[in-house]
Amino acid sequence: MALSEDLSLLIYNYKLIYAKGLNLALLKSGIVLAKEEVIEIMKNMPVFISTDFFGLRFKDVASYKALFTQNSSLYHLGEQTITLKVKSLKGISDRTSNLSVTSNRLRHTALTRGAEKGLDSAQLSRLTGVTEPAARHYVDLDYQSRRLIDENYLANQFLKNAFAVPVRSLDKNDEVILGSNFEKIGGVKDVKACSQCKTKLGRPIGCYGCPSFRPLLDADHRTVLDQANAKLSANIVHLPSSVKNRSVEKLERQIDKIKITIALCDELINQQDRINDQ
């Protein structure tokens, strides 16, 4: 799984809460440690620890440390518990509206992102726990191959899951998506989801393909396409190679969605014109 600013912040906040909980548990036993010592003794503790641990009492730091070694499994959350929690997570996907977050999905994402960053099959195997021959498939599946798969399946999935048919006009209470010249591009079906959007591409480029986006039938989507293509060209030239592939791939996929929107709008307009001419 690729590290991002949001993910790094999430991990940091989790470790911070964990450290505070551990410190409180030790204080209840009359053990006072500096922050640096608490962080140090966390190293052998489970990443996901059972809440039963925080009800324990210790005679001293040595008795606490004896509970946790590199090979101990004490107070680790059971696999079934973690699996049930993961199943309750709601992921966001630009391919499907019903993304299921599973260990296989997380492993696949980690393998794909690792291969994109140039890790070899041995490194991918150690990172994810899969066999080296299995990891080699992700190394062999190069960027162009992934693009070919995207191009073959994107349109069908997009039309099936992405958004409702483009509309002639917006409801008066709809939030409006504006273009660079403050022209209306579309509306929003779910304002709450839109306000929590994590897309890094911004409006309106990042809106295409979102289940909450309602594109206007006669909006100037071609100008948005030109802007997206210009942004793609700039990224190819100026971004460092370490982040270029992922950024370019995401933007290229978004450009495909804008093109599909344009084609769909053109088709609907032509159908309406043919009806009016009859």
- Separation between Cα atoms, residue 1 and residue 115, nearest integer Å: 11
pTM of the model: 0.46
- Separation between Cα atoms, residue 174 and residue 178, nearest integer Å: 12
Query: What is the DSSP track for 123-155?
Result: HHHHHH---HHHHHHHHHS-HHHHHHHHHHHHH
The closest of 147, 149, 120, 148 to 136, measured between CA atoms, is 120
pLDDT at 140: 63
Under-70 pLDDT residues of the chain: 1-7, 79, 83, 86-103, 116, 139-173, 198-200, 239-245, 271-278
Query: Coil, helix or strand for 215?
Result: strand
Query: b/e for 231-252, b at 16 or more Cβ within 10 A?
Result: bbeebeeeeeeeeebbbbebbb
Query: Coil, helix or strand for 7?
Result: helix
Query: Coil, helix or strand for 109?
Result: helix
**Residue 123 near residue 111 (C-beta atoms within 8 A):** no
- Separation between Cα atoms, residue 163 and residue 257, nearest integer Å: 11
Peptide bond preceding 166 in cis form (omega within 30 of 0): no
pLDDT at 53: 81
- Separation between Cα atoms, residue 157 and residue 164, nearest integer Å: 13
Q: Work out whether the CA dihedral 226, 227, 232, 233 comes out positive or negative.
A: positive
What are the CA-CA distances from residue 32 to residues 28, 260, 271 (Å)? 9, 62, 75
DSSP state of 94: S
> How many other C-beta atoms can be found within 10 angstroms of the C-beta atom of residue 9?
10
pLDDT at 155: 52
- Separation between Cα atoms, residue 124 and residue 122, nearest integer Å: 5
Q: Work out whether the CA dihedral 20, 21, 22, 25 comes out positive or negative.
A: positive
pLDDT at 229: 92
Residue listed under structure tokens 């009800």: 55
As given in the structure block, the two tokens for residue 185 are 């591009």
pLDDT at 70: 75
As given in the structure block, the two tokens for residue 93 are 């996907």
What are the CA-CA distances from residue 110 to residues 90, 106, 124, 143 (Å)? 18, 6, 8, 15
